[in-house]
Structure 1
Amino acid sequence: MAKTKKQQKTKSIEESLWQSCDKLRGSIEPSEYKHVVLGLIFLKFTSDKFEKRKQELIDEGQEKYVEMKEFYNMKNVFFLNEKSRWSYIIKNAKQDDIAIKIDTALHDIEKNNPSLRGALPDNYFSRLGLDKSKLAALLDNINDIDTLKDADQDIVGRVYEYFLSKFALKEGKGKGEFYTPKSIVNLIAEMIEPYRGIIYDPACGSGGMFVQSIKFIESHHGNKKEVSIYGQEYTNTTYKLAKMNLAIRGINANLGDKAADTFGNDQHKDLKADFIMANPPFNQKAWRGKDELNDDPRWQGYDIPPVSNANYAWILNIVAKLSEDGVAGFILANGALSGGGEEYKIRKKLIENDLVEAIVILPRNMFYTTDISVTLWILNKNKKERKLELPDKTKAFRNRESETLFMDLRQIGIPFEKKFTQFSGEQIENIVSTFHDWQEQNNTYKDVPEFCYAASKAEIEKKDYSLVPSKYIEFINRDENIDFDDKMKVLQTEIADLLEQEAESKKELEMVFKNLGYEL
C-alpha cells in the first residue's frame, strides 16, 4: 500500500532527526546520547504545548494569568519559566554555554512540575562536553518539528518511538533491554485487552507496555481515564526514559518514588492489578542473596524460586499482583517451559491452580538483545468466565476450565531492519482472533497442525507438567520445518547457559564443603 504524503513527511522528519543526532556518536555512547536527544524532543514538545496554552489565555482575555502555573496545570500542560522555553534555547543555541542553559531549563521544568520528579536528564549536556556546533545543528533540526500540527498523527510520540527502537538497535545485546519491540507489545495488548482498571508492569523499561495499552483503549473508543497505571524500573536512566515517554503522551502513571529493584524494594507492595504486561530480564542470575527473600509473601503457596534464575520469581511476583479476575501477558525465555527442581514444583502448582491460559512461542530474532525464540505466557485468575464490555463490542469469555491453549508462531512474521522479525497487523489479527475464538468457545476454533492446540489439564499432567508447545501441537512435516542451523544456534545458547549454571552450582558446593572443613 502506498504511503500518503503526510506519512512520508512524518517519516522524513524521523529519519532526518536520527541522522542529525547520529552525528553526536563520535565521543558519546548511544546509552548516553539517547538522553540528550530525547530530552531535547521533550523540551520542544512541552514548550509548544505551553505556548499554545499561553495564547489561549491571551485570546480569552486572561493575559494577567499567563505566568501562573495553575492555569497550565489545570489543562494538563507543564508550566515553563521564561528561560525554560524552547524560544530561549534557540535564541542562545550558538552560545558557548548552551549546554548549561539546556540543563538549567530541564531542571527548572522538573522543579516546577511535581509529576515530572525524577524524569528528566540531570546535567547530561554539561557533563558530556558536547561539540557546540553539532549540538547547535541538532537544535536546529528539532526546531523544525511542529509538534502540535496534527494531533491524530501523534508526531512526537512516533518520533519518540522511532528513536527508542533505533537506540535499542544501536546498543545491541546486553544494553537495549529498555525497549520491547512494538509488534510484541501490540500482540500482548490485543490478546489480554487491558481496557479498564489497574495496569501494572514490574519491569517497565521505557514504558512501551503502557503506551500500547492506552492505544488499545483509544482504538476501541474507550476512555483512558478509566485505567490506572503502575510500574517499576530498576535502572535509573531507563526510569527517566519511561517518565518522559509517558509525559509526552499525557499518560499519568505511578512508577514509584525512584528506580528500584522489584524484588528487593517493591514499590507497590499491596497492589492488585487487573492487567499485567511485562518483559522482565531473561534468565536473570543471582537476583537475590542465598537466604534473602525466603519469607517473601509473593511466594506464598509455592516453592521459593531458585537463586540461580529469576524467571519463576517474576512469574510469582506477577501471580501475587493479580486481582481475583486479573489477566497477565508477559515474555520469558523458553527454558522456563520445562526443567526441574523448584521451577518444576512451581510450574506444577501453577497448572494445578489452573492459572496458565496460553503459551505462545514467538519467532526468533524479534528482540534486539537476543536472537533466540522466546515465550509469551498468558495467565488468568478467572478462566471460568470473564465478561469484557468494550464501547464497540461485548465479549463473554467462557474458557473450558482446566484447558490451556498452545500456539507456535515460529513460522510467522515479516522481516525488518534486515535481520529482525516482526508481526504484521494482519498476522496479529489472525493470532488474536484464534485466541479469542478459543476463549469464547466459538465453533470457528479448531486445533491447527503446526499452529495451535488446546490441551486439557490431564494431557499436561501426562506430559509431566511440561509447557513446551511442541509436545502438544501436531507437526505434520516436522523434519522439513526445522532449520538445523537455527536449531544449533539455539542449542548452543541454551548449553552455554546450562554450563554457566553448572559452574555456579559447583562453586556453591565447594563453598559448603569448605565451610565444613573439607576440600573437594
Structure 2
Amino acid sequence: MNKQQLANKIWESANKMRSKIEANEYKDYILGFIFYKYISDVEITHLLGLGYTTDTLYEVREPVYPDPDNASAPFDDEETVKDLEEQIDNIKTDIGYFIPYTDLFSTWLELGSDFDVSNVRDALNAFNNRRIGKTHEKVFKGIFDTLRTGLSKLGGTAGEQTKAIRDLLNLIKDIPTDNKEDYDALGFIYEYLIENFAANAGKKAGEFYTPHEVSLLMSEIVAYHLRDRKEIKIYDPTSGSGSLLINIGKSAARYMGTGNNIAYYAQELKQNTYNLTRMNLVMRGIKANMIETRCGDTLEDDWPYFSEDDKGVKIEGTYDPLYVDAVVSNPPYSQNWDPDGKENDDRYSGYGVAPKSKADYAFLLHDLYHIKSDGIMTIILPHGVLFRGGEEGEIRRNLIERNRIDAIIGLPANIFFGTGIPTIIMVLKKNRINDDVLIIDASKGFEKAGKSNKLRASDIRRITDTVIDRRDVPKYSRKVNREEIRANDYNLNIPRYVDSSEPAETWDIYAQMFGGIPNIELDALSEYWTAFPKLRRSLFLARSTEYSEVTTDDIKTTVCRSDDVSAFREKYRTAFDDFSDYLYTELIEGWETVHTASEESVLSANIFKRLENISLIDPYEAYQLLDNEWSTISADLESMHSEGFEAVKQVDPNMVLKKKGNEDIEVQDGWKGHILPFELVQSAYLSEDIEKISIMESRIAEIDSETNELFESLSEDDKENPFVNDDKTAFVAAEVKKAIKAKEVSIEVLEVLKKYDKLITEQKSIAKNVKKAREDLHEKTKETIEILTDEQACEMLRAKWINRLCGELAGLPDAVVNTFTAKIQALAQKYSETLSEVDEDIRRIESELGSMLEELTGSEFDMAGLQELKKLFGI
C-alpha cells in the first residue's frame, strides 16, 4: 500500500486501540514507538554497511562484566570486553547511540509471545543512561522520558500493558524508514498521525501542532526570501512538534538543491512536546550537528549566550547570541507573562514591553531580535494585535516607524484546532526596501473540513504569490503607505484597508418606475465586456445615456452563439490542446524520473503559462483542479518507484474487518487493483459484461414496478388476506404460494397472485444470475489487469490520471460563460417589470374581480357579505 493508505490504516487502528486514553496522551506512545523503530532500523542499516549480516546481528551486544555478588556468573574476558566496548564506542560515534541486538525493535517482534513490557522499560532506561554518544546527548538525552514514564497508562497490569504494546508494535511495523525515494513516507505518516491526534485533542492541540496548510504557507514565504543562500539557520522558539521548522527546511531545500546546509534551532516549554520536536527532526534524516534544541521558557530563558558543560556551568569563549536567517513561530495566544524588568532586555529595547496579560508582542519581538539584518520572520498571532491599544499600540507604532512590518495576512476563522478565533500571519524583516505594509484579507479562501476550515492549495499559492509580488488585488490585498497608517493612529485592522465584503444590492428608482437597466450596473461587469467587446451591443440597446434595455428574449442562446464567446472558448481550447499529451510525456513516459515532491510545481507552472493571455479564467482555480488530482497521481507514482512498473498490473487482496466474537478480524473480500481501479478497467475492456448486468438489473427494477402495480390492483378487502403483510404495503411471497395452491380466492385475485408469483420467480432467477455475473466480472477484471500489456497499462494510467483532470480543466470556460449569463439574466429579471406595470396589473385584477363579484347571486346575508368584501378591495 502507498503511504497514504498505510497512514490511514495506522490511524484508524490506533484511534480504536487508545480506548479511553486521551488523544493528546496516546500520541506520545505511538509516536515514541515509531521513533524507536526508526533509530533501530538506522542502526541495522549502519551495521549491515559495516559487513554484518542479518544472521550475525546478534553479535552486537554489550559486554558482560564480572558480578561481584555472584562470582560463578559467566562474564566476558578482558579482550572481549575491550573489543565490545570499542565496537560500541564506534557505533555511538557514527550514529550517536547504540542499541544491542536484544533491544532492537525487530527483536521485540521476533520474541512473539515471549515479549514483555519489561523489555521496553529496560531498553528505554538503558538507552537514556548509557547508550547515547557524548556528541549526541543534546539530541537524544531524555527523548523517551514521556514514553517510558507513561507505559503504566497502557494497562492496569503488566499483562495488559504487554498486549497493548505488542499491538502497537505490530501496527507500526510496516512503516518504511529508509526514505530511499524522493518522498518521505515516514515523515508523511508521522505528520499525518500528529495532525489526526491534534484534531482529536481539542484545545490541547495548539500546544504541539500548527495545521500543515498554515505551516506550508509560512514556509513558502520564508523559503522564497532565502532562495539565493547556500546555507541557512532557521529557528522556532515555540516549536511544538517541529513541523514548522521541517516544512521550511523542505521548501528551502528546493531552492538550495540540498537540505544538508540547513541548521535547525528549536525551543519548547513542555517536555513531552519538546521530545516530539527532537524525534521529528531526527526522523527527517537531519544530522545531529545541524540540530540545536532546548527545553525551556522562551520569554524567561532566552537562547543561551554560552554553551554549558554537563553540570550546567557556562563555558567561556562560547558566546553566541543566535542570529538566524529565519524565525517561524506559532506561540500560545494572549497568554500571561512576567514583564517586570524586561524594559532592559535587548529583545524589547526600542519597541516597548508587552502587557502582563498578553504576551503576543513579547513573542514577536523575541523572534525579531533573533533574525539577521537580512533575515525574515513569520509569526501567527490573534487578530487583536492589529488594533489593541496601550503598550501594544506603542509597540505597533514603533514597529511601523522602524519599518519592520512587511506583510499582514488575515486567515480564515476556525482554521486552528481547539480555537475558532480570527488569526493572522505577520511577516517582518529588519532591513526592507519598501516602506509600505502589504495587507491581505485571505479570510474567505478556504474549504470546510469537518468542523474546521482548511486552506486549499490554491489559497496558499494565491497568498504566497501576492506576498512575493506585493500585488494590489481589489477586495483582497493592498500596499498601504505609512502616512495612511499614521492617519489611522497605527491601527492595522484589516477591514480599514482592504474591504473584502460583497457590494450591497442596489435598486435604481428610475428603472423601477420606468424600466430599463442602469448602465452603471452593466459597467460593473467591465471585465466581461473587455473579454467580449461586441457582446454588449448584441445584448443591449441604449434607451438613453444612462439606461439600456435587453434586445433578446433568449439571453443564454445569444451569449453562447456570439462570436466573442466562441473566440474565447477557442483560444482556451488552443492553449490546452496538447496538454493531455504533455502530461502523458511528463508523467507516464517519464514516470521513472518524476520527482513527486517537486513535479506538481512543474505542472502548475505549465498551467499558469498557458493561461497568461486568457482573461476571465482564474489560474488558481485551474491549479486547484491539478492539486485535487495530484494526491492520487503522486501516490501511484511512489508505488511505481518503489515496486516498478509491474505495480500497475498488480491486484491485491481486498481486506475488510469482520466481527468474530468480540474481536474485529481482517478477512479477504475479493480483490482490488493495486493502482488501477476495477471500475476503470471494466469500462475500458469489459463494457459488454457491464451492459449485460445493467440489462438484468433493469429488469429487476421493472419487476418491482410491476409487482407494485399488481398489489395496488387489489381491493381493500383483498388486502386483509394473509398473503398481504401487516402494514398492508406488499405481498408475502410464501403466503401467495399457499393461496394459489388453496384456490380460496376469486378468479381475478387468483390471476393477480399467479402473475406476482411468476414475476418473483423470474426476479429471483435474474438476481442469482446477476450475482454470478458480478463474480465472473470481478475475476475477469483481476485477470485483465494482470495481463495488460505495457501499452495498455499506460493508457489506463492516462484514463486515471490525465483524462479526468483535462476534462475538468476543459469545463472552466463553460463555468465562466454560465456565470456571466446568470449575471445578465439576473439584471434583466431585476428590472423586467416596472412598478407602474405592477400597479396596472393590480387595478386590472381588481376590476376583473369586481365584475365576477357582480355576477354572483345569493341570500340576503350572502349579498351583504359580498358588499363588504367589495369595500375591502376598494371596488
- Class of the TM-score when normalised by the shorter of the 2 chains: 0.7 to 0.9
Unaligned runs of 5+ in 2: 61-83, 306-320, 506-875
Q: Identical aligned pairs, as a percentage? A: 30
TM-score by length of 2: 0.48
2:36 to 34, 43, 67: 43
Residues 76 and 250, structure 1, Cα contact 8 Å, conserved in 2: no
**Alignment partners' CA distance in 1, 2:274 and 2:501:** 46
- CA shift, 1:72, in A, is 4.4
2:131 to 112, 137, 144: 112
1:479 to 1:206, Cα distance in 2 relative to 1, 3 A: farther
- CA shift, 1:331, in A, is 0.3
**Alignment partners' CA distance in 2, 1:89 and 1:291:** 53
* 1:265 correspondence with 2:301: yes
Alignment of 1:308-387 (within 5 A): 308-384=357-433
| Paired residue type of 2:459 | Q
Question: Which residue of the partner structure matches residue 19 of structure 2?
Answer: 26
- CA shift, 1:42, in A, is 1.0
| Paired residue type of 1:207 | G
2:333 to 282, 285, 290: 282
Question: Which residue of the partner structure matches residue 121 of structure 1?
Answer: 145
* 1:411 correspondence with 2:444: yes
More displaced 10-residue stretch of structure 1: 334-343 or 103-112: 103-112
1:185 to 215, 235, 246: 215
Residues 43 and 95, structure 2, Cα contact 8 Å, conserved in 1: no
Question: Which residue of the partner structure matches residue 517 of structure 1?
Answer: none
1:160 to 183, 186, 190: 190
1:231 to 1:291, Cα distance in 2 relative to 1, 3 A: same
Residues 23 and 134, structure 1, Cα contact 8 Å, conserved in 2: no
**Alignment partners' CA distance in 2, 1:365 and 1:478:** 25
| Paired residue type of 1:203 | T
CA-to-aligned-CA distance 1:85-114 (integer Å, 9 cap, x gap): 012211335347x22211332333444232
Residues 450 and 475, structure 1, Cα contact 8 Å, conserved in 2: yes
RMSD value over aligned CA atoms?
2.5
- CA shift, 1:174, in A, is 3.7
- CA shift, 1:168, in A, is 0.8
- CA shift, 1:71, in A, is 5.0
Question: Which residue of the partner structure matches residue 430 of structure 1?
Answer: 462
CA-to-aligned-CA distance 1:352-409 (integer Å, 9 cap, x gap): 000000000001121102112200000011212xxxxxxxxxxxxxxxx211100011
| Paired residue type of 2:334 | N
Q: Secondary structure at the match of 1:281?
A: coil
**Alignment partners' CA distance in 1, 2:174 and 2:375:** 45
Residues 168 and 177, structure 1, Cα contact 8 Å, conserved in 2: no
More displaced 10-residue stretch of structure 1: 401-410 or 138-147: 138-147
* 1:459 correspondence with 2:484: yes
The count of aligned residue pairs is 443
Q: Secondary structure at the match of 1:412?
A: coil
CA-to-aligned-CA distance 1:183-242 (integer Å, 9 cap, x gap): 111111111215542211111111011110121123335222322211210111100111
| Paired residue type of 1:303 | G
2:113 to 94, 114, 118: 94
Q: Secondary structure at the match of 1:232?
A: strand
1:43 to 1:265, Cα distance in 2 relative to 1, 3 A: same
**Alignment partners' CA distance in 2, 1:20 and 1:474:** 47
Residues 50 and 77, structure 1, Cα contact 8 Å, conserved in 2: no
More displaced 10-residue stretch of structure 1: 429-438 or 234-243: 429-438
- CA shift, 1:58, in A, is 1.3
Residues 260 and 267, structure 1, Cα contact 8 Å, conserved in 2: no
Question: Which residue of the partner structure matches residue 296 of structure 1?
Answer: 345
1:15 to 8, 13, 16: 8
Q: Secondary structure at the match of 1:277?
A: strand
- CA shift, 1:59, in A, is 6.8
Alignment of 1:136-215 (within 5 A): 136-148=166-178, 150-193=180-223, 194=226, 196-215=231-250
Question: Which residue of the partner structure matches residue 317 of structure 2?
Answer: none
**Alignment partners' CA distance in 2, 1:353 and 1:69:** 55
Q: Secondary structure at the match of 2:357?
A: coil
Q: Secondary structure at the match of 2:439?
A: strand
**Alignment partners' CA distance in 1, 2:404 and 2:107:** 56
Q: Secondary structure at the match of 1:200?
A: strand
1:448 to 1:112, Cα distance in 2 relative to 1, 3 A: same
1:304 to 1:218, Cα distance in 2 relative to 1, 3 A: closer
| Paired residue type of 1:435 | V
**Alignment partners' CA distance in 2, 1:476 and 1:367:** 23
Alignment of 1:46-61 (within 5 A): 46-58=39-51
| Paired residue type of 2:437 | T
1:296 to 1:437, Cα distance in 2 relative to 1, 3 A: same
**Alignment partners' CA distance in 2, 1:225 and 1:197:** 10
**Alignment partners' CA distance in 2, 1:149 and 1:379:** 35
1:99 to 1:308, Cα distance in 2 relative to 1, 3 A: same
- CA shift, 1:73, in A, is 5.4
1:240 to 271, 275, 280: 275
| Paired residue type of 1:451 | Y
CA-to-aligned-CA distance 1:24-51 (integer Å, 9 cap, x gap): 3334222222111011111112222222
Q: Secondary structure at the match of 1:31?
A: helix
Residues 361 and 374, structure 1, Cα contact 8 Å, conserved in 2: yes
CA-to-aligned-CA distance 1:426-472 (integer Å, 9 cap, x gap): 3322221121112xxxxxx4x22221000111111111111112111
Q: Secondary structure at the match of 2:479?
A: strand
Residues 39 and 121, structure 1, Cα contact 8 Å, conserved in 2: no
- CA shift, 1:166, in A, is 1.0
**Alignment partners' CA distance in 2, 1:76 and 1:458:** 57
Residues 207 and 273, structure 2, Cα contact 8 Å, conserved in 1: no
Residues 205 and 417, structure 2, Cα contact 8 Å, conserved in 1: no
| Paired residue type of 1:104 | D
More displaced 10-residue stretch of structure 1: 127-136 or 13-22: 127-136
- CA shift, 1:479, in A, is 5.6
Residues 20 and 137, structure 1, Cα contact 8 Å, conserved in 2: no
- CA shift, 1:74, in A, is 6.2
Unaligned runs of 5+ in 1: 1-7, 385-400, 439-444, 481-520
| Paired residue type of 2:302 | D
**Alignment partners' CA distance in 1, 2:356 and 2:429:** 26
CA-to-aligned-CA distance 1:475-495 (integer Å, 9 cap, x gap): 462568xxxxxxxxxxxxxxx
| Paired residue type of 2:358 | N
Higher helix share: 2
Residues 199 and 205, structure 2, Cα contact 8 Å, conserved in 1: no
**Alignment partners' CA distance in 2, 1:18 and 1:93:** 23
**Alignment partners' CA distance in 2, 1:339 and 1:126:** 46
| Paired residue type of 1:452 | S
* 1:448 correspondence with 2:478: no
**Alignment partners' CA distance in 2, 1:411 and 1:73:** 52
1:185 to 1:478, Cα distance in 2 relative to 1, 3 A: farther
Residues 103 and 125, structure 1, Cα contact 8 Å, conserved in 2: no
**Alignment partners' CA distance in 1, 2:179 and 2:473:** 47
**Alignment partners' CA distance in 2, 1:170 and 1:412:** 24
**Alignment partners' CA distance in 1, 2:9 and 2:501:** 48
**Alignment partners' CA distance in 2, 1:256 and 1:292:** 26
